[in-house]
Structure formats: C-alpha cells, structure tokens
C-alpha cells in the first residue's frame, strides 16, 4: 500500500504571524540621540517607534517614511516610523542598539519630507559616520 503524504503547509505571507507594538522607550532613545548629535531636522512629534515580532526579515531595524504622495492624499504631515525587530534587536548590547538607531536616523533627509536617503549614496558613509555620531552622542547625551 503506498504511503500517503500530507500536502505541505502553506507558507505564511503578508502580515500573517507578525505583531507590532508601540515602543515608547525606543522613541525616547531616538529623540535623545537626535538631539545629542545635532539632528535638528528630526521632528520628535512626527517620529514613531514600534517593535515587530515574528518578522523573518534579515534586519535589526528599519525606517519607514510616509511618502509625499500619501501625505498629500491623506492630508498628513511627513512621518517616520522606526521599526526594531524582536528578538534580534534585543540581543544587541545597548551600545550596538544605539548605533543601529543612529544608522536608521541617518536615512532621514535634512528636508524631513517623508522620503528616505538611500544606503548606496556617495554621501551616505555608514560605518564611519555612525562611529563618529556615536562618539558625539556619548559626549553630549547628558545634555540631551
């Protein structure tokens, strides 16, 4: 008698299995970092942070901007959401988490328009810039 095989389970796609929650503590850290490193263009009132559970993305964090077309259609100002992936982000040391948050803030353009600065830009020198800004943050964080 032939062995009957079960059909494979369908892979989840889209938002199935994902869960988000507001991350007020991460938002406070982002605001503190932005102030300490002199990112005056980052408006704390229009910056949101969330924790994402269940993502299979190969990222520690990412930033999302509300693009100008949606701003105009929905009559909303420019907004940015910084998403941290749990548990990957939580496994990092506090210093590495701060570096990741600095990296994400570097994607916000001076115009704070809702668009994002790309990684592959000649003006986007990630490693050295993050290191320099992290040292500046450490020097100024008491005042921020």
Per domain, the residue ranges of the chain are: 19-140
Residue 18 in tokens: 């994902």
The confidence band for 135, taking pLDDT boundaries of 50, 70 and 90, is very high
3-state DSSP: the chain helix, strand, coil percent, rounded to 5?
35, 15, 45
What is the mean predicted confidence (pLDDT) over 111-123? 83
Sign of the CA dihedral with 127 first, then 129, 132, and 138 last: negative
pLDDT at residue 12, rounded to an integer: 43
Q: What are residue 125's DSSP bridge partners? A: none
pLDDT at residue 15, rounded to an integer: 67
pLDDT at residue 10, rounded to an integer: 44
Residues 19-44 have pLDDT tens digits of: 999 999 999 999 999 999 999 999 99
| Count of CB atoms situated within 10 Å of the CB of 69 | 9
Closest by CA position to 108, among listed 30, 36, 51, 55:
30
Domain 19-140 is of which CATH architecture?
2-Layer Sandwich (3.30)
Residues 41-92 have pLDDT tens digits of: 999 999 999 999 999 999 999 999 999 999 999 999 999 999 999 999 999 9
> For the chain, what's the residue count?
144
Residue 109 pLDDT > 60, yes or no? yes
Sign of the CA dihedral with 99 first, then 101, 103, and 105 last: negative
Whether the CB-CB separation of 43 and 65 falls below 8 Å is answered with no
- % of the chain exceeding 70 in pLDDT: 85
| Count of CB atoms situated within 10 Å of the CB of 34 | 22
Give the CA distances from residue 63 to residues 2, 4, 10, 113, in Å, rounded to whole numbers and listed in that order. 52, 47, 29, 14
For the whole model, what pTM was predicted? 0.84
The confidence band for 128, taking pLDDT boundaries of 50, 70 and 90, is confident
pLDDT at residue 126, rounded to an integer: 75
């Amino acid at each position: 008698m032939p062995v009957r095989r079960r059909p494979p389970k369908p892979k989840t796609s889209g938002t199935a299995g994902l869960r988000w929650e507001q991350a007020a503590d991460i938002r406070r850290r982002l605001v503190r970092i932005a102030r300490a490193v002199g990112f005056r263009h980052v408006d704390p009132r229009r910056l949101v942070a969330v924790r994402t559970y269940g993502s299979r993305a190969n990222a520690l964090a990412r930033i999302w901007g509300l693009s100008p077309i949606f701003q105009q259609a929905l009559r909303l100002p420019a907004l940015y959401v910084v998403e941290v992936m749990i548990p990957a982000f939580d496994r990092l040391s506090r210093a590495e988490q701060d570096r990741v948050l600095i990296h994400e803030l570097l994607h916000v353009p001076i115009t704070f328009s809702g668009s994002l600065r790309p990684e592959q830009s000649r003006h986007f020198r990630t490693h050295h810039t993050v290191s320099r800004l992290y040292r500046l943050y450490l020097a100024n964080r008491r005042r921020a």
